[in-house]
Chain A
């Protein structure tokens, strides 16, 4: 029995120290830092503008309280005195037009400088982008396919990047529109049907960052998270090598039984395990499932109990997702979980 939990809570349970924040101000990458600096500046400017406005509003409301009455004579006199008074028009043009125009022009220039410093996305709708990219992220309802084409890596819901290096990522979608967002590293870029957008992703500090889909993509939009692990170039290279390798053949009896159950229950209809005959493509590749931090696109921590709960009833945790409930015996369930846990 598992409670429905969304992603981040569980990250706290993971062995790795992970941030439990999606705050855009907890920036750990250059693009996000530019946005955060601009954001703080805009907040300060907005507060100042609002206080000036408040002064202009509150002062007369206080000063002139009780002076008015609804008589026609007073209003008629005001029409004679104040009709299109040139001082009023000059004041409105100054405070309502000239001053705001200056402030707006200044923040626009500032934002444009910040935008060009972010340099995102640097290529739009480039059909060859996927080949030149370091990593390719393909959106699915409701998970992320992750490929490293040059390194022969195929995984899901987890990206690894070397710290301090800009990684070129091509974004596309297999079905509906999604949006790729790692708040601590960079702003959003949409995955738009029929086009490939390319972005830079760069992390300044090692760590695990949480990402999520930011474009409404159907009932489980809320559970379409992923993690970005920024690590030293050596660890990154190790990770690539591990992920590139096919699955180690099963030897223990329970794992072998689980592999047989995986086949007989039809799991391979959707899932692939490289190095085996399982070649399903509709769901995430499971070759190194046990190495991932989360299950079901950031919905559950990758623990044995959560894995068993997910396999037994994926519709309970993430109702409406594409993984069907497959009726299986308790023995089969334990065996399948043992097999999946062996896929390091």
Chain B
């Protein structure tokens, strides 16, 4: 955790490395994690954590995608008996739950973890150990949720888990306990991750990166993180109530006991709708980063797009009941939420107009990441238009809970999450690995995925209008549903092939991609000023930023040449970065950061033990989990001694501390 100390003027001549190579050597000694098993388990490097997030989210994407593929096989023709109703229910529940919680949100956390410190010119996140904990607990919670499938008892109440179907009376098995406890575990990870982003973005921006110079990606991550922090408590409360109702016969959701079944829906959607924006906002940020790069100009109307990000995150909290138009709410309530749903599309309109303007007045270069952004625009606008339709009460009463909504949400989430993520992977792969992805394979994967997505999801509009309800494991022939379902399944196959081409491209490029160089796209943001992949310490000197497009306005050489002010040398004393003021990013002092630590992993493992104990209703495992959690927290917070000038930095691993100029070491 970063602790702030007062700025200490560097004693002239003392402890200042005279030779840049010596400084770099010392920085490597301070920041690099040894490439050992112990290093892998204790590292707090945001780049390593970011890549792990990406791989893990990709893994869950494949699992959740396989769930969907099985569903499409079942639905390929009428009255299929490929899957039992129970299996189908588990598959669609896990598909939704995993895609939302284990893929869509974590994959963006992966990008943000890797990119935010680089984009803002910092050496790490504000709370590096918390960051490591966030990843480990995400991994364990994801395995907890998917562990249910191994015992054939996966959640089967949908990702929305409406009561009373999910109460003990109607779902006596462990399925919904996996859901409630798994998501509770996951909310811990997500909450601390979001808090970490907010503080990092507020306090660790490079000097000069005032709030009106933050990259749009940073704005969107900030907006999404704030939305996360405010949305998750509602889910947490709902899950705790559900588990209490299930385990201890409380009556939060039991009408006969004075509770309310609708309360669950309100609590869930107060969380659930803002969450939709959480999983698309950073993706908007990716697009707002990539389109300007490949249109060779700054993003049009930066300020409006930044405000749009913030207002989507805020307005997103005022529309939840549009998921509940048919529950028997009053006309006044449905009208209010319908009107609110119209207004929430306005910020997206501004962002879309900005992207179009950027392209209109730009000089587009058709590289793979740009193509994926174009695909995003097309899919997202279709999803947005059907979203407006479903936001209108008189129409929604017919199409809600039909495949029309399935089509809508997949155009939005595949369009505004999957496509931007793929754009981001192709765009930052050179930075992550130092190697280029193959352009030809990249373009091929784009076209196959784009065609596949449309063949897969477009017919669902027709199915919904033809009256096919959601979440049915089969349907009757001769009702006008046969052709649409058949084509949709064909589309799923095409989409899978496209994804496999993408995977092949990743594997091939990891093994033998062309060397990338520092800035293969000629991009403007700070991550491209350092080597690919970046050094452990990110920036040898914290850059000073003078505009929104640092590398275009200042040039990488100038950035690299800039000293971080009078305290440049002090940043070699240990794991340190510069703290700056929230609005103006004026230099405020040095942030001391912790070194690698085993306790984040230990704490996540202790929590996993606790949640498995609760899951299995074992008293002793649960108690052991509590004790282990307290112990891990205690060890984590145990005073580690004084950080500060003159105190040798703590680091793990072997090796002699290199001397540096002046001989102060």
Contacts and interface: CB of A to CB of B under 8 A. Distances in A.
Interface of A: 3-10, 12, 20-25, 31-32, 34-36, 38-39, 42-43, 46, 49-50, 53-54, 56-57, 59-61, 64-65, 67-72, 74-76, 78-79, 82-85, 88-89, 91-93, 95-97, 100-101, 104-105, 107-108, 111-112, 114-116, 118, 120-121, 124-125, 141, 175-177, 179, 181, 183, 186-190, 192-195, 197, 212-222, 319-320
A217 B365 contact: no
Interface string B302-330: 11100000000000000000000011111
A118 B345 contact: no
Contacts of A22: 466-468, 479-480
Nearest to A81: B297
B224 interface: no
Contacts of B255: 193-195
A115 B326 contact: no
B261 A192 contact: yes
Contacts of B382: 50
B444 interface: no
B300 interface: yes
B331 interface: yes
A83 B343 CA distance: 28
B364 A65 contact: yes
Contacts of A107: 342, 388, 392
Contacts of B345: 100, 104
A47 to B, nearest CB: 9
B563 to A, nearest CB: 23
Contact of A23 (B353, B395, B397, B466): B466
Interface in B427-463: none
A110 to B, nearest CB: 8
Interface stretch (B41-49, B80-88, B177-185, B571-579): B80-88
Given A183-B467, A187-B326, A78 B297 contact: yes
Given A8-B476, A22-B468, A78-B296, A195 B394 contact: no
14 contacts: A9-B477, A31-B397, A56-B356, A57-B377, A70-B296, A75-B297, A79-B549, A97-B349, A104-B346, A107-B388, A175-B164, A175-B170, A177-B261, A216-B165
A179 B296 contact: no
B398 interface: yes
Interface stretch (B122-130, B234-242, B277-285, B551-559): B551-559
A61 B374 contact: yes
Most buried by B among A83, A101, A220: A83
B256 interface: yes
A79 B478 contact: no
Given A68-B363, A104-B342, A222-B474, A78 B466 contact: no
Contact of A6 (B163, B295, B476, B555): B476
Contact of B296 (A68, A188, A319): A68
A42 B389 contact: yes
Nearest to A78: B297
A312 B257 CA distance: 39
B366 interface: yes
B469 A72 contact: no
A52 to B, nearest CB: 10
Interface stretch (B101-109, B136-144, B399-407, B586-594): B399-407
A197 B262 CA distance: 13
Nearest to A299: B476
Interface stretch (B333-341, B418-426, B497-505): B333-341
Most buried by A among B261, B343, B353, B397: B397
Contacts of A25: 465
Given A79-B547, A216-B162, A35 B476 contact: no
B287 interface: no
A221 B472 CA distance: 6
Given A175-B170, A216-B165, 18 more contacts: A21-B467, A39-B389, A39-B398, A46-B385, A46-B386, A67-B363, A69-B296, A70-B365, A74-B296, A79-B549, A82-B297, A89-B301, A104-B345, A104-B346, A187-B397, A219-B89, A222-B469, A222-B472
Contacts of B631: none
B602 interface: no
B342 A21 contact: no
A32 B398 CA distance: 8
B353 A92 contact: yes
A92 B304 contact: yes
Interface in B35-80: 78-79
Given A6-B79, A57-B377, A93-B304, A72 B555 contact: yes
Contact of A12 (B78, B326, B478, B522): B478
B177 to A, nearest CB: 17
Contacts of A215: 162, 401
Given A79-B549, A194-B256, A95 B476 contact: no
Nearest to A218: B165
A222 B552 contact: no
Interface string B8-23: 0000000000000000
Contacts of A115: 331, 334-335, 393-394
Contacts of B79: 3-6
Contact of B326 (A7, A53, A116, A179): A179
